[in-house]
């Protein structure tokens, strides 16, 4: 289970609470300036046993930036996270969009690209039944689920209530399928990440 676009002072604590309740560790792909601004949330996330990995500094599609600009963005973001004591090894790019050179940039920085299999499309403001219905056929061993604990630039909703509400039924469904959610590094080991 992965969460992008945080940390968010309102929604990240609620996601952490519900993950604690269901006893699941997840992976958070953070926006570096938000991580610096809300460093206590990053610390809480790590203390609870979750992974914090790199999303971006500026949330812009790689196809709309130069390679040099993305390299600078990545360098700045990784430095910010290092200042918080985090050494990311996974990278989910903004919007999950890759330019032809994204893989090479990832390798330059020692990062592995992390995609997903099941997109909840929670950013759109869908309800829990809609989201569960859509992703259910995609759930299984090794499946990576995309959710958001923050309101990124594409969000068509004003809050993340439905994502908070999705966690418990999603975990229940996964356990019915015999799957136990783990942080992404555990799920994927040293393989390339993605579906
Ligand atoms: Zn994002």
| Predicted confidence (pLDDT) per residue in 115-138, tens digit | 999 999 999 999 999 999 999 999
Average of per-residue pLDDT values in the chain: 95
SS3 of the chain: CEEEEECCCCHHHHHHHHHHHHCCCCEEEEEHHHHHHCHHHHHHHHHCCCEEEEEECCCCCHHHCCHHHHHHHHHHHHHHHHHCCCCCCEECCHHHCCCCCHHHHHHHCCCEEECCCEECCHHHCCCHHHHHHHHHHHCCCCCCEEEECCCCCCCCCCCCHHHHHHHHHHHHHHHHCCCCCCCHHHHHCCCCECC
Distance 125 CA to ligand 1 centre (A): 15
Question: Is residue 148 annotated as a catalytic residue, yes or no?
Answer: yes
Distance 5 CA to ligand 1 centre (A): 5
| Predicted confidence (pLDDT) per residue in 38-62, tens digit | 999 999 999 999 999 999 999 999 9
- Record the pTM: 0.95
Distance 156 CA to ligand 1 centre (A): 13
Q: Per the residue annotation, which of 8, 62, 148, 149 is the catalytic one?
A: 148
């Amino acid at each position: 289970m992965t969460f992008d676009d945080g940390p968010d002072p309102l929604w990240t604590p609620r996601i952490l609470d519900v993950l604690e309740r269901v006893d699941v560790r997840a992976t958070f792909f953070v926006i570096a300036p938000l991580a610096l601004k809300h460093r206590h949330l990053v610390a809480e996330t790590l203390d609870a046993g979750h992974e914090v990995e790199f999303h971006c500094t500026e949330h812009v599609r790689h196809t709309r930036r130069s390679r040099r600009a993305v390299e600078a963005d990545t360098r700045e973001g990784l430095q910010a996270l290092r200042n918080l004591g985090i050494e990311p090894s996974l990278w989910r790019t903004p919007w999950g969009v890759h330019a032809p050179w994204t893989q090479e940039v990832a390798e330059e920085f020692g990062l592995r690209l992390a995609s997903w299999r099941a997109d909840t499309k929670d950013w759109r403001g869908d309800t829990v039944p809609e989201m569960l219905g859509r992703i259910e056929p995609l759930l299984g061993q090794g499946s990576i689920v995309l959710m958001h604990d923050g309101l990124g630039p594409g969000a068509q909703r004003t809050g993340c209530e439905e994502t908070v509400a999705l966690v418990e039924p999603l975990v229940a469904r996964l356990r019915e399928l015999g799957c136990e959610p783990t942080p992404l590094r555990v799920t994927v080991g040293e393989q390339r990440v993605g579906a």
